[in-house]
Amino acid sequence: MSGIDIQTNTGLLDLFREQGALLEGHFLLSSGLHSPRYLQCARVLMDPAVATALGAVLADRLRPLLGEVTPTAVVAPAVGGVLVAHEVARALGCRGLFTERQDGRMTLRRGFALAEAEPLIVVEDVITTGGSTREVIEAVRARGARVLAVGSLVDRSGGAADVGVTRRSLLELEVPTYSPEACPLCADGSKPEKPGSRTSR
């Protein structure tokens, strides 16, 4: 990531491309839809130095939302958010926790505990509709915690996802999807490929 300015949308896009976290072409998604872009945040987080740097920048963007309050934990949904919570927590000097589904319900396990009225931040790797973020917010509020702010590495919603809490993201990214019948790339004659089929290590 030498020479890349991860403070800017352009620099972040370069970083995601360089890490193979953002592929561009014509892809068949697991949903069956087609897209000109494929996002795999795990590939940008696989380099520990990059993950730490991204966590620090996201923490910087969240700090102005916190007022005088110092968060004592950062919570994310597993699996995608685990490293994001860990790295934002490193930057803020607090605990990094994650929620998991148990019988379909998002919950804190593994002995993770929250104090009554504990101030915390909820983070994600990617926000699309905000659904899993809202589930995490509900899970920690059910334990009595206060959610100060929400952060994500990527916002795929064009800023539209409403999680009921003020939020920030590092990278705004459009990932259009099309049904095979309506796919303009197919109409141009190209064939979709499965993401990962040309990605090595």
Residue 192 touches Zn ion, criterion: CB under 5 A: yes
* Nearer CB in complex with Zn ion: 151/192: 192
Q: Is 186 in the site for Zn ion (CB under 5 A)?
A: yes
Stretch that binds Zn ion, among 44-52, 149-157, 168-176, 188-196 (CB under 5 A): 188-196
1 scored as a contact of Zn ion (CB under 5 A): no
Return the closest-CA partner of residue 165 out of 62, 79, 72, 29: 62
Measured from the CB atom, is 62 or 183 closer to Zn ion? 183
**CB distance 44 to 6 below 8 Å:** no
Q: In the range 8-37, which residues lie near Zn ion by CB under 5 A? A: 34
Least separation in angstroms between CB 179 and Zn ion: 9
Contact call for residue 136 and Zn ion (CB under 5 A): no
Residue number with CB closer to Zn ion (36 or 96):
36
Looking at the Cβ atoms of 159 and 180, the one nearer to Zn ion is: 180
Closest separation between CB of residue 156 and Zn ion, Å? 19
| Residues found near Zn ion in the complex (CB under 5 A) | 34, 183, 185-186, 192
